Amino acid sequence: MSGIAGQRRPADDATFISVLRNTQTMAAPETDGFDIREYGATGDSDALDTEAIQTALDECAESGGTVYVPSGTYVTGPLRVGDQTTLHLDAGATLQFVGDYEAFPTVQSRWEGWNQYGFHPCLLVDDAENVSITGRGTIDGGGEYWWQFYDAPESEIPDGLQERLAEFEEKNEKQDDVSSFTHRPPLFQISESENVSVSGVTLENSPFWNTHVVYSENVTITDVNIANPADAPNGDGIDIDSSRYVRISDTYINAGDDAICIKSGKNAEGREVGEPASQITVTNCTVEAGHGGVVIGSEMSGDVRDVTVSNCTFTDTDRGVRIKTARDRGGVVEDLRFDNIVMRRIACPFTINGYYFMPLDSDSEPVDEGTPMVRNVSFTNITARQVETAGFFAGLPEQYFEGISFNDVQIDATRPLDATDLDPAMAYDYEQTHALFCKSIADISFTDVRIRTPGGPAMQFEDTEDVTIDGLRVPDDQDAPVVSLTNVDRTRVRGCAPQSEGPFLEAGGSETREISFAGNHGSLADDTEIADDSDATIDRS
């Protein structure tokens, strides 16, 4: 199919606007512009403008062109944008979605990984091609109205809303502990569409997720502002869901949940649908607050692959780069690159967690279609300062995650552990420390990494097959040991220096095997402690 449709750029903006405003009939103007005021919209914050705006959008979709929203506040119910349409919000224009559950009809879509029934999104692009949302205006979901019903006792939920929720529950086959979506619509959804671009606008106060791209391809989001309060429930910024060829750039996000999240369905249904999220780039974005800067999962059962994130800053997010999954998800997350990122004041900058809402020390289970895999994840040129835990990486005992690498990464994990009430990964039965923690990983490597923690060890490996450390640097006053091994098959250390006090490395566990030192600054073999329960051997070559 064709690429992103070109946007109309009139030579004289004033002339263009004048033509739009002088249109006298309800029929489509002779130009390709559709001014919503010519269809009866008032923009006075009192009367509902839904019918006028939707009529303009529908007529535009028949012939193609631009629906123009001039300055003013237009209170509206849910809207649908069709083919060949540019929806342009002028500076000072606001689409203010009404707080009224009766105004939002029932639709079927994907909600938190399942195809379910729920409320119509506030602004919906569905089964459409060549659509643009442009301008410097604001799209406001009026989330305050909807948030009051989240986790509210039944006595505080209106009877009519309870009836709607009962309707959804009867139609929907699936429900779990996190399925709160039916209480609230997303603000903006791009569904089963192609060649869609969003630029310039502000999207704020979403009842549920802010911007949801699902079952779509060739989508560009650039120069957009996304804002939700910190306490907005499920207030994700941008969710890319079973979609491909998606580009997010030059965007500011302050979210009430994960800022940029990549998903592909949940459990058996997600695997059956089998639509991966793939060929995704995120660049030049600024994230201020949220549960995670860029997050993969936990709904990743249809696979996530070929993702590049570069030139971004994450500040005051709970986690930085976060991959989360669990047993029964299945699916593969692979070939991810994170480069040129700066993080500050974060609980944990790097998280790959196979135990999302599960106990960490669970026994091994048989590998089947519900066993997830994460592999080939690269972190390069990243600085993480004022963080609590340096990193958390945990595969499953029955399926180790593979191919995790760090190159030129600096981590200052000296922020007090009680700076927030967050654990690193939302895995149960894990006692948080400042160390970079690694468990059930097939191979992980560190090249030219600097790390500082207020106590030792700085790096802790358990039940891991292959660890490579090349050029690790720690401050002179770093507490010993720097590296701790428990049941690690092979460890290779080069380009490192002994500590002034205490061992550089300590090893224990009956499954710890070969430890190799080569090209170090001093004899690290003499600066290693082997526990009595370990049969580890040291290769000094």
What is the set of active-site residues?
A: 257, 291
Give CA–CA dist 385/347, Å, rounded: 10
Give CA–CA dist 274/387, Å, rounded: 37
What are the distances in angstroms from CA 223 to CA 130, 191, 203, 260, 284? 19, 21, 11, 15, 10
Give CA–CA dist 314/308, Å, rounded: 16
CB 493 within 8 A of CB 516: yes
Residue-by-residue DSSP string for 43-100: -EEEEE-HHHHHHHHHHHHHH-EEEEE-SEEEEE--EEE-TTEEEEE-TTEEEEE---
Report the alpha-carbon angle 434-440-442, nearest 5.
Answer: 115
**What's the token pair of residue 163?**
């009836």
DSSP 130: E
Q: Collapsing DSSP states into helix, strand and coil, what is residue 431? A: coil
Give CA–CA dist 92/76, Å, rounded: 16
Give CA–CA dist 334/315, Å, rounded: 26
Reference 469, options 500, 436, 502; nearest CA is 436
**What's the token pair of residue 518?**
């080569």
Compute the radius of gyration of the chain from its Cα atoms. 26
Q: CB-based burial of residue 103 (10 Å sphere; 0-12 exposed, 13-18 middle, 19+ buried)? A: middle
Q: Collapsing DSSP states into helix, strand and coil, what is residue 271? A: helix
Q: Collapsing DSSP states into helix, strand and coil, what is residue 279? A: strand
Task: Find all residues with CB under 8 Å of 363, minimum gap 6, and list them.
Answer: 397
Number of Cβ within a 10 Å radius of residue 276: 24
Q: CB-based burial of residue 122 (10 Å sphere; 0-12 exposed, 13-18 middle, 19+ buried)? A: buried
Give CA–CA dist 216/115, Å, rounded: 15
Q: Which residue has the tokens 């604001």?
A: 138
What are the distances in angstroms from CA 122 to CA 98, 193, 284, 515, 523? 9, 17, 28, 58, 65
